[in-house]
Amino acid sequence: MVIFMKSITINPKGFSKDQLKFYIVLVPLALFMALPIVYIINHAFKPLGELFAFPPKFFAVHPTLDNFTKLSQTAQTSSVALSRYLFNTLLVTLLVVFLAVIIGSMAGFALSKLSFKGKNMIFEANTLSMMFVPAAVLIPRYLIIDKMGIMDTYFAHILPLLAMPVGLFLLKQFIDQVPDELLEAAYVDGASTFRVYRKVILPLIKPAVATVCILSFQQVWGNLETSNMFTTKENMKTLAFYMSTLVNTNNTVVGQGIAAAGALIMFLPNILLFILLQSKVMNTMAHSGIK
């Protein structure tokens, strides 16, 4: 008996009617998930009257740049130049992202491919640490920073943020997929462990590295803890801390417009970085390091 089955095109190069059922579900879902982004952008351009309108308006009816103008004027009257906050943030962010990737990938390589005593216990401890909220380790972290004598320094901004359990977990799980045969071939050719890490592991885990870059960037860019707890000098604080104080500028009502503009400025780098690296993030979450 011959059974005729309708062929369904899987992953066609162009548009196929078989994809309509996916569009019907995914397009409304994507639009719904984009609403917060649209709101943040519109909120920054609302005049003061629309910011406090009731019922609240989702879109700016009369968009204006007044909030950004007031933000610029406020920054000029600050005791510390806005460029100083920006410099502190960029320096700390670049160093933390770079060091978090290096430390995380090295640790992930060691936990995945090297043999030593206590390896499983260390990885379990890292996994367990993901259960702790930041507030639970705030006091121990403060005591350590104080005892090290690095209060009011860039080290106080950098060191607490280098430990990234989620990043280590992702990198280790991604490196697990690298075939051991590749590493054995490199060792047979005379490569050292560090050379194997640099020439074999790093090129194969680029999607995971991109994901860790995004996660660490988000963690540092909007971080308030280090500026609030580990620094007392105003010229050592970051842009995120300065933006968080804008709501209290002059008074709560006037400060809302400035805060809305500041929130958009702090949000844009996150979304732009994710857009640039989103394909690699998807590969990491799908655990598709080696085909």
For the chain (291 residues), the mean pLDDT of every run of 10, in chain order, is: 46 67 84 87 84 80 84 79 88 93 92 88 88 82 90 90 88 88 88 89 88 89 88 88 71 72 86 77 53 41
Domain count, the chain: 1
Residue 117 lies in a domain: yes
- Whether 233 maps to a domain, the answer reads yes
Is 85 within a domain? yes
Residue 80 in any domain: the answer is: yes
Give residue 105's domain range.
70-285
Q: Which amino acid is at 116?
A: F
Residues 6+ apart with CB under 8 A from 122: 111
Q: Per the domain annotation, does 145 fall within a domain? A: yes
| Predicted local confidence at residue 2, as pLDDT | 42
Token pair recorded at residue 208: 């995971």
- Rounded Cα gap, residues 44 and 80, in angstroms: 24
Longest dimension (CA), the chain: 86
Q: Is 11 a domain residue?
A: no
Within a domain: 15: no
Cα torsion through 130, 136, 139, 140, rounded to 10: -40
What are 237's two structure tokens?
Answer: 């604080």
CATH number at residue 123: 1.10.3720.10
Grouping H, G, I as helix, E, B as strand and the rest as coil, residue 133 is coil
Please indicate, yes or no, if residue 179 is contained in any of the structural domains.
yes
In this prediction, residue 98 carries a pLDDT of 94
